[in-house]
Structure 1
Amino acid sequence: MSVEGLRGWVKQAKADRGEGPAGALTTAEREELRQLRKRDREQQQTIEILKIGFAFFAKEMK
């Protein structure tokens, strides 16, 4: 274990207890943010696929 690794754990533990610096995310908030970013990426991919499909069928209908 490195000193920096331990320092990061201590810093995160303080944030989880509400003792961290202003704006520090708790572990739960970090996980929620990770999940929201993943969902956003998936939705953006879905939108791109739908755009391509729409363009294909719009072209076929003409």
Structure 2
Amino acid sequence: MYKWRREFEEFGVGNFPEKRNLKLSPEQEKIHELEKRLKDKELERNMLKKAIGIFSKSGR
């Protein structure tokens, strides 16, 4: 109980896994956000590569 109370005071509601909120330090939150943005940009790049391949083949 003491551990939960201390973590609740430090991290708030984000401490409880059933809420799907992770207790992260500000640095970890920044890393998580940057990893998410990187994944989105890689997906976007791959879609553009496929589109270029499709359009370059149809012009022949």
Alignment TM class, shorter chain as reference: 0.5 to 0.7
Q: Percent identity?
A: 24
CA distance in 2, matches of 1:61, 1:31: 46
Q: Which amino acid aligns with 2:26?
A: A
**Where in structure 2 are the equivalents of 1:35-46 lying within 5 Å?**
35-46=33-44
5+ residue gaps in structure 1? 10-25
Query: Normalising by the residue count of structure 2, what TM-score does the alignment of the two structures yield?
Result: 0.60
Question: Any runs of at least 4 consecutive aligned residues in structure 1 with deviations exceeding 6 A, and if so which?
Answer: none
CA distance in 2, matches of 1:35, 1:46: 17
The structure that is helix-richer by fraction is 2
Q: Does 1:52 align with 2:31?
A: no
Work out the number of aligned pairs and report it.
44
Q: Which amino acid aligns with 1:52?
A: K
Q: Which has the higher contact order (CA 8 A, sep 6+)?
A: 1
CA distance in 1, matches of 2:41, 2:54: 20
What is residue 27 of structure 1 aligned with on the other side? 25
What is residue 17 of structure 1 aligned with on the other side? none
Query: Normalising by the residue count of structure 1, what TM-score does the alignment of the two structures yield?
Result: 0.58
